[in-house]
Amino acid sequence: MRKWKVSFISLVALIVLPWNGAMLLASDADAAAEKKHKDKYVELVVSILRSHVIALRDLTANEIKYSDNVARHAIGIKQTWDMLGPMDWHALEAKRLQKKKEGGNAIILQQKDFDKMVDNSLTRVDRLRQSAHRWIRDNDRDAFMKDLDSMMQSCKDCHSLMPKNTAPAVWKGLKGKL
């Protein structure tokens, strides 16, 4: 009976241990697939932000039939911003800020510093939305463009601190101040 017990335990071990190893490999593959999927989603959301900004620059360049859509695009920026949770993806990357070197000195930011930058960006997104309504009412393109550039700069301020290839270059290639 004892030999049978040992053999049975050995048989179970032969079946269970490789299965557990396969499960660990599968969970690593699942985690990598999930990260890839999440990164693609974030890139998509960022492309929506870019599209709104391109449309705003276009609509304010010349008065056209659709120029009143500046307010809708500014609202779209706020709604798109909120799609990121807000900024849950960025919060994960914030921990990497300490790894970036600038001039030989490590940038040391605490989560509270990062939260302050996120709040600053959100304030500028809200200001842009308000400015779009004033642009329609007063046709003050300069004030609106100043707020648009300010909002874009707030994104760049944070992203520029992150290690290369960890945050999308949101405004890269767009014409304008940035």
pLDDT tens, per residue, the chain with 178 residues = 555 454 555 544 445 445 555 455 557 788 888 878 877 888 888 889 889 999 998 888 888 889 889 999 999 999 988 887 656 555 555 555 555 555 555 556 677 777 788 888 889 999 999 999 898 898 888 899 999 999 988 888 877 776 666 666 667 776 554 4
3-class secondary structure per residue, 109-137: CCHHHHHHHHHHHHHHHHHHHHHHHHHHH
What sign results for the dihedral spanned by CA atoms 65, 71, 77, 82?
negative
Instruction: Identify the bridge partners of residue 105 per DSSP, sorted by sequence position.
Output: 102
pTM above 0.85, yes or no: no
Q: Does residue 86 fall inside a structural domain?
A: yes
Q: Which domain holds residue 101?
A: 2-159
Domain count within the chain: 1
The answer to whether position 174 is within a domain reads no
Structural domain includes residue 165:
no
Instruction: Report yes or no on 75 lying in a domain.
Output: yes
Q: Please report, for residues 9, 29, 100, 117, the alpha-carbon distance to residue 155 in angstroms, rounded to integers and kept in the order given.
A: 59, 32, 17, 9
The CATH number assigned to the domain holding 77 equals 1.20.120
